[in-house]
Chains A and B, each alone.
Chain A
Amino acid sequence: MSAAPGFELGHHLPALQVVVPLIGAVICAMLRNGTLAWGWALIVSVLTAAISTMLFVAVQAGGTISYGLGGWAPPYGIEYRVDLLSAFILLIVSWAGAIIMVYARQSVMHEIDAGKRAWYYCMYLLCLTGLLGIAITGDAFNAFVFMEVSSLSMYTLIAMGKNRRALLSSYQYLIMGTIGATFYVIGVGILFTLTGSLNFVDIAERLVTMQMERPAIAAITFLTVGISLKLALFPLHSWLPNAYAYAPSVTTSFLAGTATKVAIYLLMRIFFSTFGEAKVFEILPTTTILVLLSVSAMIGASLVAVFQDDVKRVLAYSSVAQVGYITLGIALANDLGLTSALVHIFNHALMKTALFLAVGAVFLRIGSVRLHDLDGIGPKMPVTMAAFALAGFALIGTPGTAGFVSKYYLAAAVIDKGWWGLVFVIAASSLIAVFYVGRLLEAIWFRAPGALAQKASDPPLSMLLPIVGLSLAVIWFGVDTRLTVDVAHNIATMLLGGVK
């Protein structure tokens, strides 16, 4: 399996996708100086994003890429396998990482102690490494290792928050995340005992001939519950609001844009390209359970979001609700449903990152994200808050924004199944979103400015650019759906046609 001697960039892209941020992270830790480390981390994260783009183009042109790590042929060695789904997720995660890194310098200078800044960037890049690793690896156990890499660094990133409660919320996340990872690895262990393989493709091939007996059902249950903890599916989301609320602004944006998305990717990988939808959805009551939980998230978490008085918590509960949209799409297990789930992974990453970055800019200026401190801040930070409003409209699902596209496809998927009741649930959830987003916008734009808001102004350009860029992208992808819908549709076809 070894390549011909001589270095060829195109051949090594899958390895470089993970190796570049990994080596970048350790060099970051050696640099010690915060600003220097930021500059380095920016170069590394942009490079990583460039690699993911090249991979995406290569996969679209030439199909799935397989890379045997250490020269060991799969399924014996660890395989890095980039199909369209992986490439799509890699693209989202690495670009989110790069865009947030542009923003990070000022925000980190404000929120992290000078001595810890280089370590902060080191952890950021390590987390990026882990998330990209989960998305690129074709090996179930290797995915667990990367899950731990990303989670452990994420706990650190959260614990660095200025508020002392950041430590507690990081600890909460650590306990829940560890339980999730344990469940996942138990599931992988059972699968390994059943099939004797850890390679997703190989497992899938071996499972085809097997009956879905108890061990296989136990495996799928453990895997689903474990991953659901990581992706904050409704009753397992308790770690999320605190982690989002007390983490540094950069961490929150990064966490919201990437971490739950990668967990959702892993769930899709297990459901559709390992077990196959026939086994997951026809033999087990997965559909009923997932639909019920998704609907509870869409309605319950949205309702909770209405009554929060911390802007970050409003957005955090909204994230739980939005994950509900995505899992609903997965639960439908039809072409349109998966398309909507994938499109929403992309769109939600876009708008939530924009929203949290804007909130981070507010925190930089006034040192608070409580709603009554934001009264009337709109006219004082016009550009930031206009971007915030745009992304907020997308969160509701206003036509012309990216949020509408994903909700449209979700509704179409539900109708395709003939479950008309769910259309009303989607509408109701959007209506509640109008309330919680409207409540924020009303306070920000239409109230008299308070003492704190009086002295606010737009943040420095390095922070403003990512915010504005992302919120314009929210509009762009609301109109031009070639990158999102067309690719998502191809992925959905691939996933549904893969394992029978």
Chain B
Amino acid sequence: MKLDLILRVMTKFILPYILVFALYVQFHGDFGPGGGFQAGVIAACMIILYGLIFGLPAAQAIVPQGLVEFLIPLGVLIYAGTGVVGMLLGGNYLEYTYLAHEPSHGHHLGILFVELGVLITVASTMVAFFFAFAGRKRT
């Protein structure tokens, strides 16, 4: 890909917009189609596109394998942890009512954290898939 100037330049140009779009989909999930899963896939696309154009080592320099493997469980932990916090504050598991002073704020906050957990796990799982397949030696 070294010679393909257009791809290299355009990729660098487009990467931040992919991330912004991912975050838009993430935060717009409260009001319309979107949410953590879709946003996670879009965010992972950024790393995957970078890896396709600049090679696996370049992508792994940004997101090392170890970090990816740490982020996958972290997202689930945030999700499950939000539920536990709700439980400790007096509600049932995953009940957001008591997370803030007002139930509606609590629900807003709760879904925000849960979706953040989904985003992290989905994005890092997608990247892990890409790393696993791209890293295979030819046999």
Contact A15 B92 (CB under 8 A): yes
Partner among A6, A26, A29, A30 whose Cβ is within 8 Å of the Cβ of B90: A6
- The answer to whether B15 has its CB under 8 Å from any CB of chain A is no
Interface SS of chain B: helix, strand, loop or mixed? helix
Residue of B nearest to A67 (CB): B92
Contact B91 A71 (CB under 8 A): yes
- The answer to whether B88 has its CB under 8 Å from any CB of chain A is yes
Residue of B nearest to A29 (CB): B73
The total of interchain contacts (Cβ-Cβ below 8 angstroms) comes to 67
Of B25-33, B35-43, B74-82, B131-139, which stretch is located at the interface? B74-82
The smallest beta-carbon distance between A119 and chain B, in angstroms, is 9
- The answer to whether A418 has its CB under 8 Å from any CB of chain B is no
Question: Which B49-96 residues have a C-beta within 8 angstroms of A?
Answer: 69-70, 72-74, 76-77, 80-81, 83-84, 87-96
Contact A27 B98 (CB under 8 A): no
Contact A3 B73 (CB under 8 A): no
A19 CA / B85 CA spacing, docked (Å):
12
Question: Which A1-26 residues have a C-beta within 8 angstroms of B?
Answer: 1-7, 12, 15, 19, 22-23, 25-26
Contact B83 A5 (CB under 8 A): no
- The answer to whether A371 has its CB under 8 Å from any CB of chain B is no
Partner among B74, B80, B95 whose Cβ is within 8 Å of the Cβ of A70: B95
Contact A71 B70 (CB under 8 A): no
A194 CA / B94 CA spacing, docked (Å):
29
Residues of chain B contacted by A5 (CB below 8 angstroms): 89-91, 98
Partner among B73, B83, B98 whose Cβ is within 8 Å of the Cβ of A19: B83
Residue of A nearest to B87 (CB): A12
Contact A23 B81 (CB under 8 A): yes
The smallest beta-carbon distance between A79 and chain B, in angstroms, is 11
Residue of A nearest to B70 (CB): A30
Residue of A nearest to B95 (CB): A71
Known: A7-B88, A19-B80. A70 touches B93 (CB 8 A): yes
Contact B73 A30 (CB under 8 A): yes
Of B69, B76, B90, B95, chain A has the most CB atoms within 10 Å of the CB of: B95
Interface SS of chain A: helix, strand, loop or mixed? helix
Contact A26 B97 (CB under 8 A): no
Residues of chain A contacted by B98 (CB below 8 angstroms): 2, 5
Residues of chain B contacted by A22 (CB below 8 angstroms): 76, 80
A19 CA / B91 CA spacing, docked (Å):
15
How big is the A interface, by class?
Answer: 20 to 34
Partner among B76, B83, B84 whose Cβ is within 8 Å of the Cβ of A26: B76
- The answer to whether A54 has its CB under 8 Å from any CB of chain B is no
The smallest beta-carbon distance between A87 and chain B, in angstroms, is 18
Contact B93 A26 (CB under 8 A): no
A14 CA / B97 CA spacing, docked (Å):
20
Contact B92 A3 (CB under 8 A): yes
- The answer to whether A464 has its CB under 8 Å from any CB of chain B is no
Contact B92 A69 (CB under 8 A): yes
Contact B94 A26 (CB under 8 A): no
The smallest beta-carbon distance between A132 and chain B, in angstroms, is 14
Of A1, A15, A67, chain B has the most CB atoms within 10 Å of the CB of: A15
- The answer to whether A187 has its CB under 8 Å from any CB of chain B is no
Contact B95 A23 (CB under 8 A): no
Contact B91 A26 (CB under 8 A): no
Contact B77 A19 (CB under 8 A): no
Known: A29-B73, A70-B95. A3 touches B90 (CB 8 A): yes
A4 CA / B95 CA spacing, docked (Å):
12
- The answer to whether A122 has its CB under 8 Å from any CB of chain B is yes
Contact B93 A12 (CB under 8 A): yes
Residues of chain B contacted by A68 (CB below 8 angstroms): 92
Q: Return the CB mask of A56-80 against B: 1 if under 8 Å, else 0.
A: 0000000000011111000000000
A69 CA / B77 CA spacing, docked (Å):
18
Residues of chain B contacted by A23 (CB below 8 angstroms): 77, 80-81, 84
A3 CA / B95 CA spacing, docked (Å):
10
Residues of chain A contacted by B73 (CB below 8 angstroms): 25-27, 29-30, 122
Contact A69 B93 (CB under 8 A): yes
Residues of chain B contacted by A67 (CB below 8 angstroms): 92-93
A283 CA / B92 CA spacing, docked (Å):
41
The smallest beta-carbon distance between B139 and chain A, in angstroms, is 13
A68 CA / B92 CA spacing, docked (Å):
7
Residues of chain B contacted by A122 (CB below 8 angstroms): 73
Residues of chain A contacted by B87 (CB below 8 angstroms): 7, 12, 15
Of A30, A67, A70, chain B has the most CB atoms within 10 Å of the CB of: A70
Contact A2 B94 (CB under 8 A): no
A368 CA / B101 CA spacing, docked (Å):
62
Residues of chain A contacted by B77 (CB below 8 angstroms): 23, 26-27, 30
The smallest beta-carbon distance between A145 and chain B, in angstroms, is 14
A219 CA / B92 CA spacing, docked (Å):
33
A1 CA / B85 CA spacing, docked (Å):
18
A37 CA / B92 CA spacing, docked (Å):
29
Given A2-B95, A29-B72, 8 more pairs with CB closer than 8 A = A5-B90, A7-B87, A12-B87, A15-B93, A19-B83, A23-B84, A26-B77, A71-B92
Q: What residues make up the interface of B, taking CB atoms closer than 8 Å to A?
A: 69-70, 72-74, 76-77, 80-81, 83-84, 87-98
5 contacts between A and B (CB under 8 A): A2-B95, A3-B92, A29-B72, A69-B92, A70-B92
Q: What residues make up the interface of A, taking CB atoms closer than 8 Å to B?
A: 1-7, 12, 15, 19, 22-23, 25-27, 29-30, 67-71, 122
Q: What 10 A-B pairs come out closest when comparing CB atoms?
A: A5-B90, A71-B95, A15-B93, A26-B73, A29-B73, A70-B94, A26-B76, A71-B92, A26-B77, A23-B80
